[in-house]
């Protein structure tokens, strides 16, 4: 196991590069409107928000809240565009296998995308000047409150606490908990990547990161299909054509979405059981951290 000797410099570079990535993607999404830019922007914001949460957890402070609040509007505005992209791409893939017409729904999504793009442009322009002005400095102040060893121990303890929250979720109660698990799995994975790269390098982090990635990817696919069914039903309700869903193209497309969602959920339960089976070994390795420094 290797304890990094200059974590603050590494952290500064990590935060600076991530902030710059968000700034560039926010501009390119506004300029070019590429689907991948909106996706990568949201992933980068999630990583930065996870890092801000880690700064709060390890520094006992709320000073990183302002950049989190500033980023929330950009994240949500990009999400509205991203949702349209995901649903349109799924229709296009459906056409490749079954060239039935879903043109009414596709056109409706295109119209919604135009509105969402306009809203995103306004939000991105309004926040661009102050969004990235002091994010790096605020988070660095919190990490600088701890020396390397103290930050490493607090970081490992924080990850252990997140794992306990994650596996303690009651998945038999409501669908809300699936969303909670998906968000927690992503945040824990992003925090682990930061700690591994900038604070302390532990072999267990790579294996734990893969297990968490498999969980949140399976749930992400389920979430996309679940939201797509909801959006399709909402379109049908607005369409003033009550028989539309009974028409073969729409009925078949909805059934396909439901089947794909069920398959993704089944995949998730397999990955979830794998994670829970490995968790005692993960926890044991992490709990031994202070005694294993070399």
Identify the pLDDT of residue 9.
54
CATH class belonging to 2-288: mainly alpha
Q: What is the mean pLDDT of residues 226-243?
A: 85
Q: What is the mean pLDDT of the chain?
A: 83
Q: At what angle do helices 248-287 and 65-97 cross, to 10 degrees?
A: 130
Which of 26-35, 126-135, 236-245, 274-283 is least confident?
Answer: 126-135
Q: Give the long-range contacts of residues 226-232, CB within 8 A, separation 24 or more.
A: 226/175, 226/261, 227/83, 228/86, 228/87, 228/90, 228/257, 229/254, 229/257, 229/258, 229/261, 231/83, 231/87, 232/105, 232/257
Burial classification of residue 283, based on how many CB atoms lie within 10 Å of its CB (0-12 exposed, 13-18 middle, 19 or more buried):
middle
Identify the pLDDT of residue 131.
58
| Residue 269 or residue 238, greater confidence | 269
Q: What is the mean pLDDT of residues 19-31?
A: 89
The model's pLDDT over 109-134, given as tens digits with 9 standing for 90+, comes to: 999 999 999 999 998 887 765 555 56
- Residues 55 and 283: their CA atoms lie apart, in Å, by 22
Share of the chain above pLDDT 70, in %: 84
| Residue 177 or residue 25, greater confidence | 25
Instruction: Give the number of residues written for the chain.
Output: 294
Q: What is the mean pLDDT of residues 132-144?
A: 70
The model's pLDDT over 175-232, given as tens digits with 9 standing for 90+, comes to: 557 888 888 999 999 999 999 888 888 889 999 999 999 999 999 999 999 999 999 9
User: Predicted confidence band at 174 (pLDDT cuts at 50, 70, 90)?
Assistant: low
Q: What are phi and psi of 178, to 5 degrees?
A: -65, -40
The first and second tokens of residue 50, run together, are 């996870």
pLDDT over 70 (residue 16): yes
Share of the chain above pLDDT 90, in %: 41
pLDDT over 50 (residue 8): no
């Amino acid at each position: 196991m290797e304890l990094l000797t200059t974590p603050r410099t590494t952290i500064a570079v990590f935060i600076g590069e991530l902030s710059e990535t968000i700034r560039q993607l926010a501009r390119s999404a506004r300029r070019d409107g590429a689907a991948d830019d909106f996706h990568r922007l949201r992933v980068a914001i999630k990583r930065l928000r996870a890092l801000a949460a880690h700064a709060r957890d390890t520094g006992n402070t709320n000073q990183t809240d302002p950049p989190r609040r500033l980023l929330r509007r950009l994240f949500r505005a990009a999400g509205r565009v991203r949702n349209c992209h995901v649903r349109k791409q799924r229709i296009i893939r459906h056409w490749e296998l079954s060239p039935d017409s879903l043109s009414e729904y596709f056109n409706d999504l295109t119209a919604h995308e135009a509105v969402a793009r306009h809203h995103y442009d306004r939000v991105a322009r309004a926040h661009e000047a102050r969004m990235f002005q002091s994010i790096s400095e605020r988070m660095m102040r919190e990490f600088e409150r701890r020396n390397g060893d103290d930050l490493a121990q607090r970081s490992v303890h924080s990850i252990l606490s997140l794992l306990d929250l994650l596996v303690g979720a009651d998945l038999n109660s409501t669908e809300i908990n699936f969303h909670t698990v998906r968000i927690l799995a992503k945040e824990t994975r992003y925090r682990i990547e930061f700690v591994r790269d900038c604070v302390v390098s532990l072999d267990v982090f790579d294996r734990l990161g893969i297990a968490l990635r498999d969980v949140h990817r399976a749930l992400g696919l389920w979430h996309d299909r679940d939201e797509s069914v909801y959006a399709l039903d909402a379109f049908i309700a607005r369409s003033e054509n009550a028989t539309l869903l009974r028409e073969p193209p729409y009925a078949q497309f909805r059934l396909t979405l439901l089947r794909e969602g069920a398959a993704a959920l089944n995949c998730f339960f397999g990955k979830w059981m794998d994670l829970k089976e490995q968790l005692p070994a993960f926890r044991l390795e992490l709990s031994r951290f202070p005694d294993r420094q070399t």
